[in-house]
Amino acid sequence: MAKRGLHLSKLTQSSVWKSLQKRLQPFDGLHMRSLFATDPDRFERFSAEACGIFLDYSKNLIDGETMDLLFTLAAQADVEGWRASMFAGERINTTENRPVLHTALRRETDKPLVIDDDDVMPGVASVLAQMREFSDAVRDGSWTGATGKRITDVVNVGIGGSNLGPRMLDKALRPYADTALRLHFVSSAGGGMIGGVLAEAPWESTLFLISSKTFTTEETILNARTARDWLVQQSGGEDALSHHFLAITANKTKATDFGIPAENVFELWDWVGGRYSLWSSVGLSAALAIGMDRFEELLAGARAMDEHFQSAPLQENLPVILAMLGVWYINFFNAKAHAIIPYDHRLSRFPAYLQQVDMESNGKAVDRDGQATDYDTAPVIWGKPGTDCQHSIFQKLHQGTDFLSADFLAAAEPHTPVGDHHKVLLANFLAQTEALMMGNTEDDVRADLESRGASVEETAALLPHKLFLGNRPTNTLLFKRLDPFTMGALIALYEHKVFVQGVVWNINSFDQWGVELGKNLADKMLGDLDNDGPAHLHDASTNGLINRLKEFRRCRGIR
């Protein structure tokens, strides 16, 4: 897919791009083992630290000259200029004519930020205060359900950006959470999710957060209606709604039309993209779980990363380093995928969260000027927590045919110290990146097999299977503890990494027309599923599938 049009971009025609293409040559046949052997300072040279996050990027197919060229590429793409424009609230989301200001959500609220003659910070401060007041009230029991019962269950109803962030935080920050509150997340249109929650939730003590920036997203409204009907039926009327339903939205009118009182609406702004919204009241479920003081620590961590991103030279700038390593592999090594491997089950939803941040932001083939790109953009983001993933996907990492890069993440200190468990976890974490880099040699395999008494024939037969080529690039991110501050810094680090890549690729990272497409597609199909006659309006495959589905449903007695 690399060559999509005849148009040759300024990027691929630039001399620095061409120099990077030439830089590939020295790496042909070169093993990282020898890069380490010839450079005793490699670890010091290729590591950086900010906001409590230590990044070792020495286990990459790079040398000083390559990194210099990558930083030149970033500078020539004007990462610094675009960065300044984003933080200043310029309308860099051009296809939607919007500023991109999720960073305002974690900015110090007493520092004005004027957009179109309007300081946005008092609005941010006021919603933060509303979140504090509300979360305190739920947590201290002064906000109750309609019958006076203390809230025990909170259901976040939302999808995409209104789900993935809060859902990821629920798991990541659980050691800081009030265990008396159970959080549930309902996102998909499938009735199993909402049905499962409603089957268990005690209506008198359940709170629904209807989280939708637009308040028009089909799945969310469908789930919200089902929840509302359930509550009305359980409680015997609509009066209970004001105790049990809140809206997080930029569309207050739709929320109040739905039946949610205006005072239960938490405002959102059109300058907050869905996938960047967990810092706003979209993060209310997290604030309820961990309390507003902790939630503000999360914001402080992100703010610290914002400051680092804005002030550190490109060469020491964590988001820039990660971004440019990605560019190196995607555009010059033809890498198609990048793995996120946290050695922490609390981060099990982090890869899924980053999938949206990265692939929805940069999964684009048209640049800011509407030209087809003649270079690749977002990789497939994948991954799972270690050590589990060592027993599944790591085979491909170690011996598969694709060029794959990965980020490994771990905290030095566990939240739940149990014997030597954390040390064992860390030993695995370190051993894997070492093995991915080092691999083994034929001599190693031969010696190992011989020591196990293998015959000459057996050794010859097994040798190719037991050979690990190594030379697989990884970044290692270490931090002391996965506390709210660190979590905030980590998320912001990846947000800015994605931003830098978008700038280099000259794409608008902040629209999502592919997602908008999906929002309208199903309506027409629903009509076709309702029709009694055979489908004929689509292509042969879709018509055939509709008809077969109807047949299956008829057999099961469903209309």
Q: Which is nearer to ligand G6Q, 486 or 501 (CB)?
A: 501
Q: Site for ligand G6Q (CB under 6 A): which residue of 333, 515, 525, 538?
A: 515
52 versus 259: smaller Cβ distance to ligand G6Q: 259
Among 9, 58, 212, 355, binds ligand G6Q (CB under 6 A): 212
Say whether residue 161 binds ligand G6Q (CB under 6 A).
Answer: yes
C-alpha to C-alpha distance for 307 and 111, rounded to whole angstroms:
14
Q: Count the neighbouring beta carbons within 10 Å of the beta carbon of residue 4.
A: 14
Among 11, 138, 159, 224, binds ligand G6Q (CB under 6 A): 159
Residue 244 among the catalytic residues? no
Could you say whether residue 205 binds ligand G6Q (CB under 6 A)?
no
Q: Which of 360, 384, 422, 497 is catalytic?
A: 360
- Among 263, 391, 457, 465, the active-site one is 391
Say which residues have a Cβ less than 8 Å from residue 456's Cβ, sequence separation at least 6.
none
Could you give the C-alpha distances from 379 to 94, 323, 331, 357, in angstroms and in order?
Answer: 23, 12, 10, 12
Minimal distance in Å, beta carbon 217 to ligand G6Q? 3
Q: Are 285 and 183 in contact (CB under 8 A)?
A: yes
258 close to 228: Cβ distance less than 8 angstroms:
yes
First to last CA, the chain: 42
Does 358 bind ligand G6Q (CB under 6 A)? Our answer is no
The angle subtended at Cα 4 by Cα 321 and Cα 2, nearest 5°, is 40
Q: Is 156 in the site for ligand G6Q (CB under 6 A)?
A: no
Instruction: Report, in Å, the least distance between residue 522 CB and ligand G6Q.
Output: 13
The whole-angstrom separation of Cα 156 and Cα 490 is: 23
Distance separating alpha carbons of residues 529 and 550, to the nearest angstrom: 7
Q: Which of 332, 327, 306 is nearest to 76 (CA)?
A: 327
Give the nearer residue to ligand G6Q in terms of CB position, either 9 or 361: 361
Instruction: Give the CA distances from residue 516 to residues 119, 160, 443, 512, 519, in Å, rounded to whole numbers and listed in that order.
Output: 30, 12, 55, 6, 5
By the rule CB under 6 A, 56 interacts with ligand G6Q: no
DSSP letters of 320-369? HHHHHHHHIIIIIS---EEEEEES-GGGTTHHHHHHIIIIIHH--SB-TT
Tell me the window of 89-97, 159-167, 403-411, 477-485 that interacts with ligand G6Q (CB under 6 A).
159-167
Closest CA to 502 of 363, 383, 362, 365: 362
23 Cα distance to chain centroid: 31
Nearer to ligand G6Q by C-beta: 60 or 362? Answer: 362
Closer residue to ligand G6Q, CB minimum distance, 227 or 324: 227
Tokens standing for 92? 């860099």
One of 254, 345, 519, 538 is an active-site residue; which one?
A: 519
Residue from 162, 205, 355, 373 binding ligand G6Q (CB under 6 A): 162
Can you tell me which residue has the tokens 């990048």? 338
Q: Which of 214, 315, 441, 459 binds ligand G6Q (CB under 6 A)?
A: 214
Helix (H, G, I), strand (E, B) or coil at 372: strand
> Based on CB atoms, which residue is closest to ligand G6Q, 235 or 281?
281
Give, as ranges, the residues between 264 and 283 that touch ligand G6Q (CB under 6 A). 273-275
Which residue's CB is nearer to ligand G6Q, number 367 or number 495?
495
Regarding 102 and contact with ligand G6Q (CB under 6 A), the answer is: no
Does residue 364 interact with ligand G6Q by CB under 6 A?
no
One character per residue 219-238, x = contact with ligand G6Q (rule: CB under 6 A): -x------------------
Instruction: Number of residues interacting with ligand G6Q: please give it, by CB under 6 A.
Output: 16
Q: Note whether 512 binds ligand G6Q by CB under 6 A.
A: yes
Residues serving a catalytic function are 360, 391, 519
**Which residue ranges make up the site for ligand G6Q (CB under 6 A)?**
158-162, 212-214, 217, 220, 273-275, 360, 512, 515
